[in-house]
């Protein structure tokens, strides 16, 4: 674990919350903040609610009483049911999970509860540690967010996350254990992960790995995200800057042409 990450053990008052994400009823975020440090992360807006001075990617609050609070919520008079997504504004399997096991303790409770359909979205291969528990859950599905198969690009864009090939290997292990998996290609980054070569490499890898369910999403151009990305583009990937600027000026035109190329490659594989 990087010594530059500021960590705090905190107590939460609620852990199972309502969500506005389409297709889900609840969300669970075992941590506040995320040490994956993805430069494109939309969840960086959480910084202003955290009482941290550190930038996004450099702080993690560990909700050490999450399992206790969840147990109380599951035993409430009105029993929650429906679909829950774990990891909407944090990664439930970021590096600190290896030590604190907050997510694991939550999954153990949900395995006994069975009234919630559990879904997970992660960039971490650590999820395979909990295959035995995930197999006990009600209709569990695991999603892996992958932007590129290029390890050098991945290290620049998402420095603290598991390398893409490690995520693919973890996805294959989960699928072998009977846990449905899918991949979220998000975000498609202009001039970097939207090229013919980058998309072909990723989609071919997914096809060869037996992963047939995918979703894609484009970059959310929030001001903070754009500011961070422009710095990264200029420093590491200057040739891609014009494509990023084009997207920011004409997003609809960019999306239409990129969706066409993505669909053509999907049909190929």
Domain boundaries, the chain: 6-268
Residues 6 or more apart whose CB falls under 8 angstroms from that of 141 comprise 118, 119, 120, 179, 180, 181, 182
What pLDDT shows up at residue 124? 98
pTM: 0.94
What pLDDT shows up at residue 55? 87
142: Cα separation from own chain's centroid = 11
What pLDDT shows up at residue 54? 87
In order of 1, 2, 81, 207, 248, the CA distances from 95 in angstroms are 7, 10, 30, 28, 33
6-268: CATH superfamily:
pyruvate-formate lyase- activating enzyme (3.80.30.10)
Residue recorded with tokens 């999970």: 97
* Spatial distance between the Cα atoms of 80 and 255, rounded to a whole number of angstroms: 38
**Alpha carbons within 13 A on the beta-carbon side of 40:** 25
187 preceded by a cis bond (ω within 30 of 0): yes
The ranges of the chain with pLDDT < 50 are 1-3
């Amino acid at each position: 674990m990087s010594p530059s990450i500021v960590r705090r053990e905190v107590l939460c008052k609620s852990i199972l919350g309502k969500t506005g994400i389409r297709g889900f009823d609840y969300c669970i975020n075992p941590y506040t903040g995320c040490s994956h440090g993805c430069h494109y992360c939309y969840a960086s807006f959480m910084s202003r609610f955290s009482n941290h001075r550190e930038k996004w990617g450099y702080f993690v609050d560990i909700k050490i009483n999450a399992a206790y609070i969840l147990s109380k919520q599951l035993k409430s008079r009105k029993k929650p049911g429906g679909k829950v997504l774990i990891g909407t504004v944090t990664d439930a399997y970021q590096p600190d999970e290896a030590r604190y096991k907050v997510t694991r303790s939550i999954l153990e409770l949900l395995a006994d509860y069975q009234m919630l359909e559990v879904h997970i979205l992660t960039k971490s291969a650590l999820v395979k540690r909990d295959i035995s528990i995930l197999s006990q859950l009600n209709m569990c599905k695991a999603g892996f967010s992958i932007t590129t198969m290029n390890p050098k690009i991945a290290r620049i864009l998402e420095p603290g996350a598991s390398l893409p090939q490690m995520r693919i290997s973890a996805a294959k292990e989960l699928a072998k254990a009977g846990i449905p998996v899918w991949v979220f290609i998000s975000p498609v980054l202009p001039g970097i992960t939207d090229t013919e070569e980058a998309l072909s490499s990723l989609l071919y890898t997914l096809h060869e790995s037996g992963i047939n369910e995918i979703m894609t999403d484009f970059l959310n151009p929030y001001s903070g995200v754009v500011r961070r990305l422009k710095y990264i583009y200029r420093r590491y990937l200057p040739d891609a800057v014009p494509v990023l600027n084009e997207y920011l000026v004409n997003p609809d035109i960019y999306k239409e042409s990129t969706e066409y190329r993505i669909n053509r490659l999907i049909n190929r594989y």
